[in-house]
Structure 1
Amino acid sequence: MKKTSLIALLALLSATAKAEEEPTLLALNVWTGPEITVSGKKGDLLNKIAGKESEVLNPSQMSVYKIINMMPSVSQQSVDPYGLADTVNYHEAFRFRGVEATAGGVPATTANVEGLPVTGRPGGGATIYDLENMENVAVYSGVMPANVGLGIADVGGKIDMEIKRPESEFGVAFKQSIGSHNFSRTYLRVDTGDLGSGLKAFVSGSTSYAEKWKGYGASNRNNLMFGLTEQFSDKVKLEAFATWSKGNIHPYRALSYAQIQDLDSAYDTDYSNDPTAYDYYGYNKNEFEDWMVMANLEIKTGEKSKLNVKPYYWSDKGYYMETITLPNGSPNIRRWDIDHDLKGILAEYTTTVGNVDLDFGYLYHTQKRPGPPNSWKNYTLSGNTLVFSKWAILSNDSSHELHEPFIEAKYRVGDWTLEGGVKYVNYALPSILTYTTTAGDVSYDEAMESATLVPFKSAESTKTFSRLFPDARLTRMIGNNTSLHLAYGESYVTHVDIYPYYISQAALNTVIPFEELWDKRAMEISRNVELGMKITGNTWSISPTIYYSKHSNKQAVLYDTDLDATYPMNSADATGYGFELEGEYKPSSKLKCYGSFSWNRFSFDQAIYSDATGSLIDVKGMQVPDAPEFMAKGLVSYTVGDVTISPVVRYMSSRYGDVQHTQKIDGTTLFDLDLTWSRPIAGLRNVDCSLSFINLFDTKYVSMISASDYKTLKTSYQPGAPFTVVASVAIHY
């Protein structure tokens, strides 16, 4: 879309705006939900602006990470302005307080839905959900209650999305968006209203498409969702939801540190359109189809008690195809076929005994590999034809298994509130059996029919971790406007990416039995403490927090001098600490302001081995890669008649792409702007016309950094999305 036509549209919207009702920032009448409430772990400041912010920063409405990136200590990086192709090393570029919660080798995301871990990596991930269908997004970082953050990992933090239930009255929501780089998105939701006997339902669908802003290729995603609720009686309710999603993605080419030094060139460098070249864009793509179903049976067993039973299932099928560099420096094309699913059930009982609120629960969860990967096929090129080379990985079809009972309690007395609980994590890693085969370019099942087990490269027994994870929180109200809290909690993660490192390096897989390394896997444990305050005035509120964390068994990619090989081990300790500040100011119904600031330090506690020199390097106290030390963010929303003007600013300090701080990435400041005209028209509940400018001044900067990428065993970089404009019309009937 040309800038001139967009400016003309802006002028038209401004000229036609008429004064009538004054929408508040808390309820902008944005029909997407009608707005998504984003609630922090300590307060609800961001929910005042998140309804509109979710569209300003996330036009595709499919990246939950873009919604929350205004919160303090949240570092979310992006190469795609629409969030359609935002992955690095098979996961989102995202950090809580400097901690990379979804690093490569963690077969989970930070996002749960309705408290259930129905997203995963590698594969379709958390982008299979249209965020218009979400009512609330709760964000937890550091200390978390035992009854949230359930699943395979919760280190750093957790996001929980709550589905918007069917409306009590018939309604239709429609939205059409267009934008730069041939972006288009259509969304439609129909709510049936009450059909009698307490039955309500909705169905929604969306289709999104965008060409890459540089290079060749495009990405599109189609989503469908269905939900129903049935109120059988005052005591029994059943809810069920189903989601289908299919995405075809052309990612952006990862660049080296040398390439990213010339930003002008980096903004033009991408995959080629030459099918005889290894870097052809057609050899670098991924496609996934996802299904998700979940239910919630709620039974009220008393005036203050109820039982919830939530079964769930998620299926993810597809592939990654990408250009790789072998350890010997030769290029190959790799196809990683993925066919995995997860399923489980959460049973939760809540009740009140005296002044104590109790929450008992039990999660059973099983999740098939990958990760780690169970098959890789490598290809070479002959002219413009892919020629099968070998099965780089062929292993068994096995599963992760998790048992997670928990209890959380809350007790109030006077101005004091004491909360605490514990969850027991019993987590079994999958067995891994490695095979060789003489089969050629055939399916996984066909290859396994002629496969031969390689015991030396296998771990026949599972590896199980069992541990209690406590949490405690003490809150004191001081008067009517101030609260003070002190909290402690522990979290966990287990990395499984040692397997592809092992298989890819002969120095490892011909010398050390894999089971020996698999048995040395350790669960990374984070112990977190924080002290926070919230002060509220008539037109303002402010929430400062200080925190401290200790990580044991932290994974680090180590270089073994005796083997001349690189592999990750859980043998490091790390320390994190920092300061966060959130503030809100609303002097009138027309003007609302939100801001956040964070200072985050996260570093190793000792020296580690370098993968470059083979010698011990002193990195104690040095900030980990891709973790900005300072971030500041702000949003102002000003309403004139029916027009709301919302500028956004985000500052991020410098980062490093390596642990030795030799690859420095400069800090950057980005500006966005949203203009929305909103009012009811001709019997419609509401009509919104929006114009959003992302990276308003077309700033060139480095966004995503992959410092643990086992495709090349080197750090890779991506430039940030350029100036982008999105126009949309939304109708809610």
Structure 2
Amino acid sequence: MHESLKCKPLLAALAVLFAATPTFADDKVTLDAATTDNKDAPVLSEVFVTAPKVSALSQPSLQPWTVSKVSREGIAILGGQVQSNPYRLTDLMASVNTESSDGYGLNLRGGRNINVRGKGDFHLARTVEGVPFTGLVGNNELFDLENVAGFELYRSAMPAYAGLGVSNTTGAMNMSLLRPDEKAGAYVRQGFGSYNFNRTFARFDSGRLGDSGTSFFASVSHMTADKWKGAGEPPGNRVNFTAGVAQTFSNGARIELFAVNNHIDGNDYRPMNYTQAQVKSNWRNFDFNKTLTPGNLQLWYDYNRSDFDDTAVLAKISMPVGDNGLVSVRPYWGDNKGYFLFNPNPTTALVRRWDVEHQQKGFIAQYDLKISPMLDVSAGYWWMNMESPPPPVYQKDYTPQANGGLVFSKWAVLSKQSAHMFNNPFLQVTHRSSATTISGGIRLAQQKQPTFSYYNTAGLPDVSYDQIWTYNPSLDPWQQVAAKTTREWLPNLSLRHELRSDLALTSAYSRRIGRADWGPAASNYNSNRAAYVAQRISLQQVFNNLKPEISDNIDIGLRYQGERLSLAPNFYYSLSHDKEVSIYDQLVKVSNFQSVARAIAIGVELEGSYRHTSSLTSIFALSYNRFSFDGDIQSKAGAVTPTDGKQVPNAPQILAKLGLDWRYGNWNAAPIMRYVGKRYGDTLNTQKVDDYFLADLHLVYHWRNISLVQNLDVSMSVLNLFDKNYIGQISATDLDLNANPTYYAGAPRTVAMTVSAKF
């Protein structure tokens, strides 16, 4: 593609973005009801626009940013009976496709993903209260959704204070937590369903304790389930404890503290290669072996499992400053600990254990000031220390035994890593007039890549990681990587101009960042060390070819809000460069990770709702996405992969969604239909995956004020209502161009019921 032609879409979009000149007049913008209810929310850091009553399930925001939100009521419905998988909350959002190998959306390793505008979830920022303390590896389901008050997903451009974390080129999802209730009460929920699903949840709220201004809550949940095929749990054993306390003061200050501990364990589903996926009888039968089979002991289901314990603490301290200012500090700490058991290569009779221990600590400090009725400023700083990030610090290989035991074989990986550091100041300025709101900001994304030191493992015994150092393992001189600091400026600018009272033009631009993925590069080098050393190539030289992925994103749309109909059509353009990809290196004769690719995403999307009657509302989303590589990809050694114009793997071009929210008397019904267009599993678009249509049904019957019970609900969810047989999740990503992708069958019809009561 000619260089001038590549730039034209970006230049044209920028021209539209800056075409409208704001006219400044008296401010007529007010805060919406959801914001004014939370007295501690930073009211100056977002563009809030008055809106009529929103849909109960999912709705696009009226802000210029392409962000969709789910209310508390929508979370209860879309979250289903499991109420732990936040990805399910995106079921009615445009340009978002969520897949899982399990009917309940449960899996720890390789069994679930989310795709936003064609990009996978590796670069998706996941935050709670704006804090990025979800794990990079292992469990991300820290909070029961019964404890979540709201959910939002930025699909593209975003303000400087959103999407904090190690990466956000895919987008950013954020959950706000449900605060302690002002009134004492209890909520219990009991669910059961297909494949021995059983879940119990209970929450107690203290209410406001006298005149102290103190309130707290505590909740516990326990869930079990079986896999829908094969043997084991999906993971089906999850125990969660969550607590929160809030203290208000007479001067308007408030302190909140949340703590959570989550345990989850279970077994994996076995993926298929493309040849196996062409045999439809495999889709609902192919899995790990139920029994120990001679010659294939490594394929026993209990040699393919995970076990994780996660603990996190988050505080929020806010203090009014004068009449128009607010200072807030959000310190946090998290610990992600557990292990994976898996077979690293189906042709070898080995079982590998990957022990994971990540710790994160940091804080976000922010000052919000309303300078005038027309001008708001938000300035902040995010700092985080993360240990130990990927790649794996250590792994061990074992030989499986016919009795189900494991005999130590060798250390597969042994290393030491320093901390991964983030220092990000940010600033956002918003100006409002009678018809126009313009907001701009910038974030300096500074991250310090850790040092990596690998050790020779020959002859080392089977002892703990802490004990192995008493045996004085020797350094591997070829696998030593120095620390490196990267700095990227991430600007943003948005505009909302009201053409009339019910119609507004919106446009937004922002630059986003995705951290370099040194994990696969290090693992690939370790597995092919001899080939690299033979060419005198060190791990440091490989890492020198890695740098953060940068994307420039532009959205231009309309927001129509009528009495019955709401519409949010949107056009977007995204240019990604320095994309990290794995390409074949002719010199080394193995695949090598290098930051050399470019990709362009161009798409249109439409989402909205229509209120047919006072009891029936439809919610819809339709999107078309062309996310393809820009040019062929050439390795440092000269090898060329013909990727120009090829759709990125696992990126459907067409997505369509329709949901109905019907209420009649005590009944609430929400059928949801989704269409996923064709996809490809490989970079060259030779492994085609057919399109499919799915339907789910959620039913609720409500009783109110029955004796001591305030609310009593009986609900039922039927997932994959018509029992569609299809290929759902694809393991392929836009990073690895050479690895053979794997495929998972979608789960069959799954039915679950829940009884809940609030006292």
After TM superposition, the score normalised by the length of structure 1 is: 0.91
Partner of 2:315: 295
Q: Partner amino acid for 1:730?
A: S
Partner of 1:17: none
- Between the aligned partners of 1:138 and 1:365, the Cα distance in structure 2 is 23
CA contact (8 A) 1:45 1:582 kept: no
Partner of 1:79: 101
1:377-396 equivalences under 5 Å are 377-384=396-403, 385-396=405-416
Do the aligned partners of residues 710 and 664 (structure 1) sit closer, same or farther apart at CA in structure 2, a change above 3 Å counting? closer
CA contact (8 A) 1:559 1:609 kept: no
Q: Partner amino acid for 2:675?
A: Y
Which piece of structure 1 moves more, 354-363 or 501-510? 501-510
Q: Are 1:528 and 2:553 an aligned pair?
A: yes
Partner of 1:502: 525
Which piece of structure 1 moves more, 481-490 or 672-681? 672-681
- Between the aligned partners of 1:388 and 1:45, the Cα distance in structure 2 is 50
SS of residue in 2 equivalent to 1:434: strand
Partner of 1:718: 744
- Between the aligned partners of 1:569 and 1:340, the Cα distance in structure 2 is 26
Do the aligned partners of residues 278 and 48 (structure 1) sit closer, same or farther apart at CA in structure 2, a change above 3 Å counting? closer
1:48-67 equivalences under 5 Å are 51-52=73-74, 54-56=76-78, 58-67=80-89
Gaps of at least 5 residues in structure 2 are 1-51
CA contact (8 A) 2:109 2:306 kept: no
Q: Are 1:340 and 2:358 an aligned pair?
A: yes
Which piece of structure 1 moves more, 467-476 or 267-276? 267-276
Partner of 1:200: 215
Aligned residues: 693
Q: Are 1:465 and 2:486 an aligned pair?
A: yes
Q: Partner amino acid for 2:753?
A: A
Task: State the Cα distance separating 1:441 from its structure 2 match.
Answer: 1.7
Q: Are 1:657 and 2:700 an aligned pair?
A: no
Q: Are 1:164 and 2:189 an aligned pair?
A: no
CA contact (8 A) 1:243 1:292 kept: yes
String of CA shifts for 1:185-207, please: whole Å, max 9, x gaps. Answer: 11101100001311000000111
Do the aligned partners of residues 186 and 710 (structure 1) sit closer, same or farther apart at CA in structure 2, a change above 3 Å counting? farther
- Between the aligned partners of 2:451 and 2:576, the Cα distance in structure 1 is 26
Q: Of 424, 427, 441, which residue of structure 1 is paired with 2:462?
A: 441
Task: State the Cα distance separating 1:720 from its structure 2 match.
Answer: 0.8
Q: Are 1:452 and 2:473 an aligned pair?
A: yes
CA contact (8 A) 1:671 1:696 kept: yes
- CA RMSD in angstroms comes to 2.4
1:225-236 equivalences under 5 Å are 225-236=242-253
Q: Partner amino acid for 2:283?
A: A
Task: State the Cα distance separating 1:711 from its structure 2 match.
Answer: 14
Q: Of 196, 200, 211, which residue of structure 2 is paired with 1:182?
A: 196
Task: State the Cα distance separating 1:135 from its structure 2 match.
Answer: 0.4
Partner of 1:492: 513
Percent same amino acid among aligned pairs? 32
CA contact (8 A) 1:190 1:203 kept: yes
Task: State the Cα distance separating 1:293 from its structure 2 match.
Answer: 0.4
- Between the aligned partners of 1:43 and 1:50, the Cα distance in structure 2 is 21
CA contact (8 A) 1:634 1:650 kept: yes
SS of residue in 2 equivalent to 1:448: helix
Task: State the Cα distance separating 1:674 from its structure 2 match.
Answer: 1.5
Partner of 2:698: 674
Do the aligned partners of residues 711 and 573 (structure 1) sit closer, same or farther apart at CA in structure 2, a change above 3 Å counting? closer
Q: Partner amino acid for 1:213?
A: W
Partner of 2:45: none
Q: Partner amino acid for 1:210?
A: A
1:367-446 equivalences under 5 Å are 367-384=386-403, 385-437=405-457, 438-446=459-467
- Between the aligned partners of 2:737 and 2:632, the Cα distance in structure 1 is 25
Task: State the Cα distance separating 1:151 from its structure 2 match.
Answer: 1.4
Partner of 1:475: 496
CA contact (8 A) 2:92 2:619 kept: no
SS of residue in 1 equivalent to 2:88: helix
SS of residue in 2 equivalent to 1:662: coil
- Between the aligned partners of 1:287 and 1:712, the Cα distance in structure 2 is 30
CA contact (8 A) 1:368 1:399 kept: yes
Q: Of 134, 139, 151, which residue of structure 2 is paired with 1:119?
A: 134
- Between the aligned partners of 2:506 and 2:61, the Cα distance in structure 1 is 17
Do the aligned partners of residues 673 and 129 (structure 1) sit closer, same or farther apart at CA in structure 2, a change above 3 Å counting? same
String of CA shifts for 1:392-434, please: whole Å, max 9, x gaps. Answer: 1100042210000000111012211110100001101111000
Do the aligned partners of residues 315 and 49 (structure 1) sit closer, same or farther apart at CA in structure 2, a change above 3 Å counting? closer
Q: Partner amino acid for 1:145?
A: P
Q: Of 360, 364, 368, which residue of structure 2 is paired with 1:350?
A: 368
1:523-562 equivalences under 5 Å are 523-562=548-587
Which piece of structure 1 moves more, 42-51 or 209-218? 42-51
Task: State the Cα distance separating 1:95 from its structure 2 match.
Answer: 1.5
SS of residue in 2 equivalent to 1:365: strand
Q: Of 237, 242, 247, which residue of structure 1 is paired with 2:254?
A: 237
Do the aligned partners of residues 602 and 531 (structure 1) sit closer, same or farther apart at CA in structure 2, a change above 3 Å counting? same
- Between the aligned partners of 2:63 and 2:414, the Cα distance in structure 1 is 43
String of CA shifts for 1:266-288, please: whole Å, max 9, x gaps. Answer: 21111112235110011110001
CA contact (8 A) 1:679 1:686 kept: yes
Partner of 1:576: 601
Task: State the Cα distance separating 1:56 from its structure 2 match.
Answer: 4.4
Task: State the Cα distance separating 1:615 from its structure 2 match.
Answer: 5.7
Task: State the Cα distance separating 1:730 from its structure 2 match.
Answer: 1.0
CA contact (8 A) 1:40 1:139 kept: no
CA contact (8 A) 1:422 1:471 kept: yes
SS of residue in 2 equivalent to 1:227: strand
CA contact (8 A) 2:188 2:757 kept: yes
SS of residue in 2 equivalent to 1:570: strand
Q: Are 1:321 and 2:341 an aligned pair?
A: yes
Partner of 1:215: 230
CA contact (8 A) 2:99 2:113 kept: yes
String of CA shifts for 1:525-561, please: whole Å, max 9, x gaps. Answer: 0001110111111111000000001101011111001
Task: State the Cα distance separating 1:264 from its structure 2 match.
Answer: 2.4
Which piece of structure 1 moves more, 233-242 or 423-432? 233-242
Do the aligned partners of residues 526 and 394 (structure 1) sit closer, same or farther apart at CA in structure 2, a change above 3 Å counting? same
- Between the aligned partners of 1:388 and 1:712, the Cα distance in structure 2 is 31
Task: State the Cα distance separating 1:258 from its structure 2 match.
Answer: 1.0
CA contact (8 A) 2:719 2:749 kept: yes
Gaps of at least 5 residues in structure 1 are 1-23, 29-34, 104-108
Task: State the Cα distance separating 1:38 from its structure 2 match.
Answer: 8.4
Do the aligned partners of residues 81 and 307 (structure 1) sit closer, same or farther apart at CA in structure 2, a change above 3 Å counting? same
- Between the aligned partners of 1:721 and 1:704, the Cα distance in structure 2 is 10
- Between the aligned partners of 1:71 and 1:465, the Cα distance in structure 2 is 34
- Between the aligned partners of 2:745 and 2:64, the Cα distance in structure 1 is 33
String of CA shifts for 1:45-98, please: whole Å, max 9, x gaps. Answer: 965777346534542111111111320011111111212216428xx4112111
SS of residue in 2 equivalent to 1:410: strand
Do the aligned partners of residues 265 and 644 (structure 1) sit closer, same or farther apart at CA in structure 2, a change above 3 Å counting? same
Partner of 1:147: 161
SS of residue in 2 equivalent to 1:233: coil
Q: Of 328, 341, 348, which residue of structure 2 is paired with 1:330?
A: 348
Partner of 2:10: none
SS of residue in 2 equivalent to 1:516: helix
- Between the aligned partners of 1:39 and 1:85, the Cα distance in structure 2 is 31
Q: Of 113, 125, 134, which residue of structure 2 is paired with 1:110?
A: 125
CA contact (8 A) 1:408 1:420 kept: yes
- Between the aligned partners of 1:465 and 1:43, the Cα distance in structure 2 is 27
Task: State the Cα distance separating 1:455 from its structure 2 match.
Answer: 4.3
Do the aligned partners of residues 346 and 71 (structure 1) sit closer, same or farther apart at CA in structure 2, a change above 3 Å counting? same
Do the aligned partners of residues 471 and 99 (structure 1) sit closer, same or farther apart at CA in structure 2, a change above 3 Å counting? same
